[in-house]
Structures are given as structure tokens and as C-alpha cells.
Amino acid sequence: MTAEVELPQAPEGARAVFGEFFPEAVRYAELLADAGVKRGLIGPREVPRLWERHLLNCAVLSEVVPEGVTVCDVGSGAGLPGIPLALVRPDLKITLLEPLLRRTNFLQEVVELLGLDHVTVVRGRAEEVLGTLQPVHVVTARAVAPLDRLAGWGVPLLRPYGEMLALKGDTAEEEISGARAALSKLGVVDTEVLHVGEGVVEPMSTVVRVVVGESPGGVRFAAKRAKAARASRTRRRR
């Protein structure tokens, strides 16, 4: 049995970050603290720090997402960072990609309750939707996997010259160093560590930015993507 943990009041800075969608952000926080805990999507110990560590930490990612682009949030889980990003950026078209049914059910409920018409929930793994999901400008992720493995899932979903933005911790630079060979094979042409959320979250959120060239995922994934696209067209014609 899970003990009830009270959700703290939203910090003053949250109003400025979420703007007109602040009431929706509060509702999302309430859903995470209630249904999110009961369904095992977040731990009860996270409830007291939901605002600073989760909602605001993810919302400030918007500082480095270009305007009007398509986004795929890989391994979205309880909707982090995808839903906070959607709340502050209605100009984006966001896909929440998550393989587990109980999580996609929760995500769909949240999207409908908050009226997020620019957000779509897709159940599946990144490698399964390759070729069926339209390539996106930006892939986002948080606490999914080490960078080399995460890039193997996320980079192939990108359009040429797209970018992956991964929320990471203090080991961001080390992860980049250890993943250089894998990233190169995936067609990555540039990486950098960014810090966002100055004056909003302390410490600031750390983002690893991975930029691809004209062949996201490299040669092997280009062939796989083409094969999947042909199979999809064949199914539509039947």
C-alpha cells in the first residue's frame, strides 16, 4: 500500500514558465502525484519535488527547441519531458513514444484531459516505428538509457540535419566521450552540452545536443528505413 504524499504548491516561477497553461501544468502535477504514483509511473518520494525536478526541469528544455518543429519524445514514460514541453510550446507537433501499455494509457488520458491537440501518443519502441513514424526534426529523451544506446534508438527517427536533445546529469561530458565511436557510425556530425533554465531551476538542466548530417542513423538505418517505408506503402495499397 502506497502512503499518500502531499503535492507541494507550485513555485512562483512556474507561473512565468507555463504562462497561460499554468492551470494545465497544475492539473498534470496533480495527476502525476495521484494516478502516476498509484500506477507505478513515478515513485512517491518524487512527489515533494515534482515541480522543480520534473515539470520545470523538463519545461526549460523549450529554450533550445526550434520553433514550429516536429518532436518525438522517446521512452516518454509518464510524459517527461514531452508533456511539460507541450504545455509551454503549443507551436510544436509532439509524439509521445512509449512501449508500455499502462504508460500509454496514462499518457492518452493526460493528453485528453489537458486538451493537448498538438500531442499524439504512440505505443511502441523506437526500432519498431522506424519507417512508419514520419521522421522528425527533434528527438527528446530523459532518463531513458546511456547516450550510446539512446542515440541508437533516437537518431534514426530524425530527419536529415535534425537533432536529439537528451536531458542528462553531471556525467554528460563523460557520456559523450564514451559514445563518440557509436555516434559517428550513426551519422552524428556534432555534439555539445547545454545548460538551460537559468533563474528557473537550480542547478540548471543539462542537455546533450546531438546533431545529425544527411543520413540519420548511418547507412544501415537508411536501408532499414527505406525497407520499412516500402512495406508500409504495400500495406496501404491492399
**217 known ligand binder:** no
**36 known ligand binder:** no
Who's near 226: CB < 8 A, 6+ residues apart? 131
pLDDT tens digits for the chain (238 residues)? 344 678 989 998 999 999 999 999 999 999 999 999 999 999 999 999 999 999 999 999 999 999 999 999 999 999 999 999 999 999 999 999 999 999 999 999 999 999 999 999 999 999 999 889 999 999 999 978 889 999 999 999 999 999 999 999 888 999 999 999 999 999 999 999 999 999 999 999 999 999 999 988 876 676 666 666 666 666 666 6
pTM, two decimals, is 0.90
**127 known ligand binder:** yes
**101 known ligand binder:** no
Mark out the alpha helices in the chain (DSSP H runs). Answer: 12-18, 22-31, 37-38, 57-59, 82-88, 101-114, 126-129, 147-154, 172-185, 218-237
Q: What is the pLDDT of residue 51?
A: 96
Q: What is the pLDDT of residue 118?
A: 98
What CA–CA distance (Å, rounded) separates 5 from 45? 8
For the chain, helix (H) and strand (E) counts, in that order, are: 10, 7
Of 35, 11, 13, 15, which is closest to residue 23 (Cα–Cα)?
15
**126 known ligand binder:** yes
Which residues are 119's β-sheet partners? 94
What CA–CA distance (Å, rounded) separates 9 from 233? 50
Q: What is the pLDDT of residue 5?
A: 73
